[in-house]
Structure 1
């Protein structure tokens, strides 16, 4: 067995089986950032001017409408700060859009309420059919793949896009950003959540009920039909401005009573369990390496700080059995049954029908046209 190798610049390592190191020991995640993202990323005066021009266009097109854009809000720091930014700094009138997939933590519920009320905005919440959601999540767990959070993620953007298409909303603002996400999760860790072919295949093999209400989307619909036929634009305003995660968090804490999470994506009880325990302990994939590496590259964390944090597990060992019981009970199975799936042989997205080749072709085209930076998954 090969010895683990860690990048000398960030903390990505050979748990990403496709990682490549140059002759200086720097990984391809870092080199992609240095060569492809950083030169084209302008979170400065240039970016501020660009996003202000876009905001003026949004406001102009939104005259006479109840709201001029929608923002998907999970309660996490990125989307929460974006809501503040859009309203107070850019002068927009967003409809805050939240998808309840059944796993909201109480902290997330409180944070959404505090931000929305504090900014005097309207909140629209779409509740996913829980019985179908539960069946789909169990299907992914039984399948043995690593990306068992796909049912939540797929529902989130499918629902928001369908809402925008139905009501003629032309602008969707998301909290995606290079500042905290310039390193992407390797594809073997988290496969494309929008691959409807894979979602349907896994559910067909392991599901117990039909998906009558669960929102299914596909890559062609939201990458081609929505932007080029319906004219719906998806924007990432945080990429145009200086965005420091810690400063943004403290600002929301001080001004809105925002409550911190122990880790990115922990606003969902299921995602917390999945990313802190299931993924690293079953597969050896620790998403903190991706998150910390992004912060290292953007100057928000030192490599030594990241290495020190990684010495401890992301989950609380004293609480994990309780979390196991909670997740199992919510899914309607015993903890023993959930543990049996945890101990079962691991599978990958390649073991099921998928559209990987289609995604690769699309990604090459997007990069060639300058519509996408980076590309390493």
Structure 2
């Protein structure tokens, strides 16, 4: 298996990744491209300002109370998107949340904080936990993803609200596929498409693929939150989904620090089992299990994602990143038992589901019949070829510097407890509401 000479990504990274002739991945090249001389961030932000002004003017013409929709979860990005649009551009957004029901106490705390601090209205759609269980269990077996309904819901419900309330513009934060693996170019100004939603976020399945599958008891009513508006409604409302990372020089850590200061966003303070990052995806209780399944399929996980991002930004050396990947990526999360109980499944059945889903390019069976990795980034030699592509280090902002102790878990200098058990203690059980 080839691994990027700059970060920690393997060549089988999903949804897509390309290695150039130098052995550097498309995600690293995308990160470089955001600093190209022909990327004028002032000009792009001026474009965003004009778009917001036009959007406000159109809302006034319609007599609409809301200027746009911001899909939110309560996480760091939700805070920043809302803060940016309300304080800098004077927008009155409607916050729309799809409640997947697998919530953490820290996520609930931060969602409440977002609504309180922003002063914005929140519309939260909560599907039946019974329906969620059926859909989640089916998708675990079908595609190896117990959080399929997360992606299907958050990329559908805002458009359902758009159709019902005649709010054309939906504003997302960063384009995740571009930021991680360089799926698109920064020069493309990529916007939301129904094709990308189905192909990547919904694993190529739509509502009727699921309902018509004879191997489950899922009914159409269970899928109500995942039915995209008709083409007629899309055209009538003139729906449009944009990504702020196309217009501003998006940087999650800097924005998180701003939201901690300005609006009281709160990271967790305990050691997480599958990543050293304390501020990202902390609202998602199933994230550790979801990410572990990625490891079972492709041989890498959330620590690879987080380390690669920090390496590109010069806050971590590749050697340090590889060490963190080795420490975290293989760990079976404690919360796996929570979801096995939910699905009435034992571990043997769970692991058997992945026998046919493991990528043979990275997984093989050893002499005893157990699954073993063929390769890993920590088994690669660090030769001179890697040294040539090493990013410049930001000497003042290493992730384990004392001033970052609340953002990244460092066993030598762990974060100080907040005094709030929702932030200081990992939860084995999720909260529906």
Place the TM-score, normalised by the shorter chain, in its bin.
0.7 to 0.9
1:255 to 2:282 alignment: no
Count the aligned residue pairs.
331
Give the equivalent residue in structure 2 for 1:59.
56
The residue matched to 1:206 in structure 2 has which SS? coil
Query: Offset at 1:333?
Result: 1.5
- Indicate the SS of the match to 2:81: helix
Over residues 2-24 of structure 1, what are the superposed CA-to-partner deviations in whole Å (9 max), with x where a residue is unaligned?
A: xx321112221134397553332
Cα gap change, 1:231 to 1:328, in 2 (>3 Å)? same
Q: In the alignment, what sits opposite 1:264?
A: 280
Task: State which drifts further: 116-125 or 258-267.
Answer: 258-267
Partner of 1:311: 326
1:49 shift after superposition: 0.8
1:100 and 2:112 equivalent? no
- SS of structure 1 residue aligned to 2:226: coil
**What is the TM-score when the length of structure 2 is the normalising length?**
0.67
Matches within 5 A, 1:290-305: 290-297=305-312, 302-305=317-320
Aligned equivalent of 1:193, options 201, 217, 222: 201
Q: Tell me the alpha carbon deviations over residues 24-82 of structure 1, each in whole angstroms, 9 at most, x when there is no partner.
A: 222344446657x7659847211221111111111112224221111011122222211
Residue 167 in structure 1 maps to residue 165 in structure 2: yes
Looking at structure 2, the residues matched to 225 and 313 of structure 1 have their Cα atoms a distance apart, in angstroms, of: 47
For structure 2, the 5+ residue unaligned runs are 185-197, 269-277, 360-433
How has the CA–CA distance of structure 1 residues 194 and 147 changed in structure 2, closer, same or farther, with 3 Å as cutoff? same
Which ranges in structure 1 are unaligned for 5 or more consecutive residues? 350-377
| Alpha-carbon distance in 2 for matches of 1:292, 1:315 | 15
What is the RMSD of the two structures over their aligned residues, measured on CA atoms? 3.4
Greater Rg over alpha carbons, structure: 2
Normalising by structure 1, we get a TM-score of 0.76
Greater mean deviation of Cα atoms: 156-165 or 24-33: 24-33
Supply the distance in 1 between the matched residues of 2:233 and 2:182 (Cα, whole angstroms). 24
Aligned residue runs from structure 1 range 129-168, under 5 A: 129-143=128-142, 145-168=143-166
Partner Cα separation in structure 2 for residue 41 and residue 156 of structure 1: 33
Residue 133 of structure 1, CA deviation: 1.5
Q: Tell whether 2:289 aligns with 1:273.
A: yes
Deviations 1:164-199 (A, max 9, x none): 11110111111224798252689xxx9622466456
Q: 1:179 to 1:46 in 2, by over 3 A?
A: farther
Change (3 A) 1:194 1:126: same
- Counterpart of 1:311 in 2: which secondary structure? helix
Residues 179 and 294 of structure 1 are in contact (CA less than 8 Å); yes or no, is this contact kept in structure 2? no
- The answer for the alignment partner of 1:26 in structure 2 is 24
3-state SS in 1 of match to 2:11: coil
| Higher fraction of helix | 1
